[in-house]
Amino acid sequence: MRGLEHRSRWPERLGRPSVARPRPGSPLVWFHAVSLGEGMAALPVVRHCARLHPGLPILLTTTTLSAFEVIKDLLPDVVIYQFAPLDCPDAIESFIGYWKPSLILLMESELWPNLIMSAAEKGIAVALLNARMSLKSFNRWSVPLGLPLVSDAL
């Protein structure tokens, strides 16, 4: 409403699929970036993945209008690009239920709790790319995810 969402594509933020392309029938890799900087950092990896695996469906999501305006023209034609869903259970469930990613690659430190928990419940692998995390942040995230805490004595 404040000019921060794409007028015709805002339903994607609620987990609805992009009308631009249907979901491919084969396994899909989801690259999730948020802003323009993270999206630009993902581009070389997305392009390399598309070159190495030409038949592999790739989905890239961002959340900002500025990222959308720049990145949409820089992606290989095979990449499906849409806005990421809000990190609320209904939007995430709808999004993951439709796209059914086999792998989710999160750029930098975009740790969205509902996305990560939904992926874990469905057995979907999640990895961070270009990520840096302090020990304090790691331990804070470890508790809700059921991971062991790590001491700085390592």
Rounded CA gap, 8 and 19, in Å?
10
Q: What SS3 class is residue 39?
A: helix
Beta bridge mates, 9? none
Catalytic residue among 12, 38, 108, 110: 38
Nearest to 33 by CA among 83, 73, 79: 83
Catalytic site residue 121?
no
Alpha-carbon separation of residue 152 from 17, 102, 109, 128, 139 (angstroms)? 43, 33, 20, 21, 10
DSSP conformational letter for 78: T
Catalytic site residues? 38
